[in-house]
């Protein structure tokens, strides 16, 4: 038991040191939200799975350290949803407990567009997140090309959310999402996008850019399939010029797309959060290098 305890202490010490090392590499890159010009750091935090925890002190302390590492390293965006189990309430608890409420950008989701139940869903999210106003409310998993966003616009006008947007994680919904982007011109689009799943960059992300929507990308590690593909391999020499880890390699590919506003990898590890933040510092791969990254990954089979 003593050995396990010491190992835990060493891991926490390493996690605490990583943000300080990252600070030495320069400020975290930010990009403007097109509809307002407000700057948003390019590295955020997703909470699906990782923050669906109970009251146990250990997991709560680990997730609190992730939030501190995010903000201490220059990040602010935390994305959650009512459908992520207890994650939304855990985010609210931990942001309040760490005293970081004024330094985070809270994004959550409306699971069903219904004018009768929608207001109750909004109030429940506000209560769980312990805020009076959301930074971003997103209609989750849009799949209807005729989807109306009027209710979300009303909430924004009423000061209940600062921005509104839509999400999708399904390729089959991309045509519907494109139609909604063109017609409704929401403030944000959240979409699945990774080096191993680049379909969004063909039409959906350009459609968002044309509509003036900020783009958040989820599943940047392809549910860890990308890490599995490079297990046991070293970063190629040419990639070490801009990335210090495989995580940074995968994230920098996404941030290298200028239409991407921020990426939101999920984690319950402060060390991984600090490493992710490193992807938002230093230089980004240019287009020739991004093509080389695609070719490299494709050659892995």
Q: State pLDDT tens for residues 28-54.
A: 999 999 999 999 999 999 999 999 999
User: How many C-beta atoms surround the C-beta of residue 219 within 10 A?
Assistant: 22
Range of the domain at 181: 2-299
Identify the band that residue 301 occupies on the pLDDT scale cut at 50, 70 and 90: confident
Say yes or no to pLDDT of 20 above 90. Answer: no
Higher pLDDT, 15 or 5: 15
Q: What's the chain's length in residues? A: 301
CA dihedral 199, 207, 185, 101 (to 10 degrees): 50
- How far is the C-alpha of 11 from the C-alpha of 271, rounded, in Å? 8
Say yes or no to pLDDT of 270 above 50. Answer: yes
Whether the CB-CB separation of 51 and 81 falls below 8 Å is answered with: no
- Bridge-based pairing of strands 77-79 and 45-46 is parallel
**How many structural domains comprise the chain?**
1
The burial class, CB within 10 Å (0-12 / 13-18 / 19+), for 202 is exposed
Q: What is the CATH number of the domain that holds 245?
A: 3.20.20.100
Say yes or no to pLDDT of 199 above 90. Answer: yes
Identify the band that residue 25 occupies on the pLDDT scale cut at 50, 70 and 90: low
Identify the band that residue 26 occupies on the pLDDT scale cut at 50, 70 and 90: confident
């Amino acid at each position: 038991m003593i050995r396990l305890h010491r190992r835990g202490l060493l891991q926490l010490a390493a996690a605490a040191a990583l943000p300080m090392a990252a600070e030495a590499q320069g400020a975290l890159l930010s990009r403007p939200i097109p509809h307002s010009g407000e700057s948003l750091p390019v590295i955020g935090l997703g909470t699906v799975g990782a923050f669906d925890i109970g009251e146990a002190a250990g997991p709560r302390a680990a997730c609190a350290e992730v939030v501190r590492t995010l903000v201490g390293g220059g990040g602010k965006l935390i994305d959650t949803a009512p459908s992520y189990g207890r994650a939304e309430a855990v985010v609210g608890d931990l942001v309040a407990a760490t005293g970081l409420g004024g330094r985070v950008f809270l994004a959550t989701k409306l699971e069903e567009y219904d004018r009768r139940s929608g207001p109750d869903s909004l109030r429940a999210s506000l209560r769980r997140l312990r805020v009076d106003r959301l930074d971003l409310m997103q209609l989750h998993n849009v799949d209807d090309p005729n989807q109306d966003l009027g209710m979300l616009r009303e909430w924004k006008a009423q000061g209940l959310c600062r921005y509104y947007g839509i999400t999708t994680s399904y390729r089959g919904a991309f045509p519907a999402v494109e139609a909604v982007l063109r017609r409704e011109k929401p403030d944000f689009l959240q979409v699945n996008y990774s080096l191993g799943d680049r379909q969004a960059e063909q039409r959906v992300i350009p459609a968002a850019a044309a509509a003036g929507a900020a783009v958040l990308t989820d599943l940047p590690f392809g549910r860890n399939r990308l890490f599995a593909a490079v297990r046991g391999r070293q970063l190629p020499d040419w990639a070490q010029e801009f990335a210090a880890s495989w995580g940074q390699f995968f994230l920098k590919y996404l941030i290298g797309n200028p239409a991407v506003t921020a990426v939101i990898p999920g984690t319950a590890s402060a060390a991984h959060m600090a490493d992710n933040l490193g992807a938002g510092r230093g230089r980004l791969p240019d287009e020739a290098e991004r093509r080389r990254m695609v070719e490299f990954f494709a050659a892995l089979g």
